[in-house]
Amino acid sequence: MTEEAPTHESMPINPTRAKQLAENIAGITSRIQAASKGRDVRLVAVSKLKPANDILALHSSPTSHQHFGENYLQELQEKARLLPPSIKWHFIGGLQSNKCQPLASSIPNLYCVSSIDSIKKANALEKGRAELVAANSSLAAANDNKLNIHVQVNTSGEPNKSGVSPNAALELCQHIRDHCPHLRLAGLMTIGALARSKATTPETENEDFISLRTTRDQVAEALGVGADQLELSMGMSEDFEGAVRLGSDEVRVGSTIFGERPLRKDAKIKEEGGEEVVG
């Protein structure tokens, strides 16, 4: 028989570390607000390979941050088991088709999957979310129990990048809307070319961000919805201010908040006595 998993109530938080994390995220939030000029922009704190203690520190008062992003299925499942259900998890990593159903069926507070680039993956997420809703009475009774989806678009055309081509985005978006009742088409996402990200300045505009915005506008028009009903998820630590200036509704920032990441083999799910390791 396995022992019951420890919960966040027994998880230690280092006050010095918590203070530093709070200052870091406050600095990012301030920069987002300056670039957005009053628009609401969601900040997803990318916590991959960082311990659950750090996430709990930022989720606790007074910071009370809600949105956290993870890249690996097993790591996300372990952290979701340890941490409060009030966290809104985002899966932002590359996702194999065979991992979609387990992801969508195992985490009730999974808020969004931001890396969908095929009908096969969308169908597997739909199946998993339907299973979860059927098995979870509180989720089934909720007015809004759909899983948000961002379709990933390869705006740079790089062969090693995931994502549908801009021309293929509409077909996938249409499929999610028409054939996946437990999913919500929330918007489009891109991870642009690194060189373009590094070259983005207050005076220059990132071509990948312009491409995603154009694709979103075309998809919205074809679907007969307002452009403001489809989010733009674009911008990371290197380039989030430029992304926000071009209309991004969501940015993903990790190392600027949490600091350097360990190697995956060295990353711990939980600090101070937590033997569980990301593997």
Q: Evaluate if residue 2 carries a pLDDT over 70.
A: no
State how far the Cα of 12 lies from the Cα of 9, in Å rounded to an integer: 8
Q: Evaluate if residue 192 carries a pLDDT over 80.
A: no
Mean pLDDT computed over 99-105: 98
pLDDT in tens, 14-52: 999 999 999 999 999 999 999 999 999 999 999 999 999
State how far the Cα of 49 lies from the Cα of 89, in Å rounded to an integer: 15
pLDDT band at 99 (very low <50, low <70, confident <90, very high): very high
Q: Evaluate if residue 201 carries a pLDDT over 70.
A: no
What is the per-residue pLDDT for 202?
A: 62
Q: What is the mean pLDDT of the chain?
A: 92
The runs of H, that is alpha helices, within 91-228 are: 97-106, 119-135, 137-141, 169-179, 194-199, 207-223
What is the per-residue pLDDT for 260?
A: 94
Mean pLDDT computed over 67-73: 98
Predicted model pTM: 0.92
What is the per-residue pLDDT for 193?
A: 73
Q: Evaluate if residue 231 carries a pLDDT over 60.
A: yes
Q: Evaluate if residue 121 carries a pLDDT over 50.
A: yes
Q: Evaluate if residue 233 carries a pLDDT over 50.
A: yes
Mean pLDDT computed over 256-268: 93
The residue with greater pLDDT, 143 or 260, is: 260
Backbone angles phi, psi at 153, to 5 degrees: -115, 130
State how far the Cα of 154 lies from the Cα of 38, in Å rounded to an integer: 29
Is residue 228 within 8 Å of residue 222, measured between CB atoms?
Answer: no
Give the N- to C-terminal CA distance of the chain in Å, as an integer: 22
Share of the chain above pLDDT 70, in %: 92
pLDDT in tens, 157-178: 888 889 999 999 999 999 999 9
> CA 217, 209, 256 angle in degrees (round to 5)?
135
pLDDT band at 1 (very low <50, low <70, confident <90, very high): very low
State how far the Cα of 110 lies from the Cα of 105, in Å rounded to an integer: 9
Is residue 213 within 8 Å of residue 166, measured between CB atoms?
Answer: no
Mean pLDDT computed over 4-21: 81
What is the per-residue pLDDT for 107?
A: 97
